[in-house]
Structure 1
Amino acid sequence: MNILVGCLSLAMLVFLKTSSRVPAEIHLSAIATATAATTAGFLVFASVMALLGKPRWRRLMLLAAVSFYGSIMVQNALLLAQAEDSLVPASKLTSHLIRSGLEVAINLWALLSPRTRQYFDRELAAP
């Protein structure tokens, strides 16, 4: 799931930067683009490495997921606080905020569960 979400985020980022159909009001700054690309790329790479069974990447994947989805939660919360000036309806921002919270919870549950620990401990012990 993290790989798909990260790849979709990178694809949308490329679209935002290259399409002439994107209004000037929502163009991203260079810093925002670099931050978005870094967090999405790190999420994809860390998830792939963890799926390949690399034990140390489990925690890095968790860090990547919390930073990626956490930044989305913060962004939506800030936009929700200014809801009357926003281009996006408050109900949509609220649903994005809840969905990102669920993504963080799912990653915490999946990566910190005893079964996951057993799997990565077994991989770490293998020669």
Structure 2
Amino acid sequence: MEGRVVFAGDSVTDCGWRGDSDGLGHGCVRLLAIAHELAGCSVRNVGKGGDRLQDLERRWRRDMLGARPDVVSVMIGINGTWRCFDSGEESGIEEFLGRYRALLSGRPRGRSSTRIQC
């Protein structure tokens, strides 16, 4: 496989990529980047620990669409759920799903073939 793969999400994705010389972090993105299936791909990690869906929305255009990926992987949601318990912020499932679907429908210009994995 060849192409550009971008991973976005929260701490599950992040895993310290900013301090890593390869920019992959020390978690699932690194393991996937060295896997045979992604040999020949450019892999980018843009995960950010603590992020919620609304945080990802704010940086989606810059981090994801600007990279013009062929494949996008998104893992997000647990921090929004947790805010209900630590700060009383409700995160309704219907609102989350609506915002998530809207976010994922915004693909890079000229890249209608971009695959999105969630």
Give me the TM-score of the superposition, normalised by structure 1. Answer: 0.29
Higher strand share: 2
Instruction: Answer 1 or 2: which has greater helix percent.
Output: 1
- Normalising by structure 2, we get a TM-score of 0.30
> Which protein is bigger by CA-based radius of gyration?
1
